[in-house]
Amino acid sequence: MTEIEEKIKQLYPRADFQLCTVHASRNFESHVREQDRNEIDSDLRGIYLSISREDTIDQFTGFKNKLSPKYPGPLYNMEKNLSTLLRYCDYPESIRRSIHSTNLIERMKREIG
C-alpha cells in the first residue's frame, strides 16, 4: 500500500483506491519504442474494457507473455500495481467506465461532452 493509500484509508477506512488506467497506459507507453505504441495502446484498451475480472486477467496475462521479452521493466511495474489498477472490476459493469479513470477533470469532461 502506498503512502497516499494509507492516508486515505485513515480518513475513509472503507474507501477503495483506484489508479487511473489512462495515466498507467501513458506511463507504460513512455517506456516502449514508438513503433510498438499503437499495438500496446490497443492491447491495453482491450484489457481495461474487458467485461469480467477473469477476462481482464486473462488478457493481461496474454499481454505480459507477448511483451515480457521486450519490456520486462514496464511490465513488472504494471503488474505490481495490477490489483489497484483493476479495482474498478470490483464494481458493476454499468459504472466501471466512469471510475477506471480517476482524473476528475477528464471524467467530468467525458460525462458532459
pLDDT in tens, 1-54: 678 888 888 999 998 888 889 889 999 999 999 999 999 999 999 999 898 899
Q: Tell me: pLDDT of 107 over 70.
A: no
For residues 99 and 66, the model is more confident at: 66
pLDDT score recorded for residue 104: 62
Angle between helices 72-80 and 53-67 (to 10 degrees): 160
pLDDT score recorded for residue 103: 64
> DSSP of the chain, one letter per residue?
--HHHHHHHHH-TT------HHHHHHHHHTTS-GGGHHHHHHHHHHHHT-SSHHHHHHHHHHHHHHHTTT-HHHHHHHHHTHHHHTGGGGS-HHHHHHHSS--HHHHHHHHH-
Q: How far apart are CA 87 and CA 35, in angstroms?
A: 30
pLDDT in tens, 85-102: 999 999 998 888 778 766
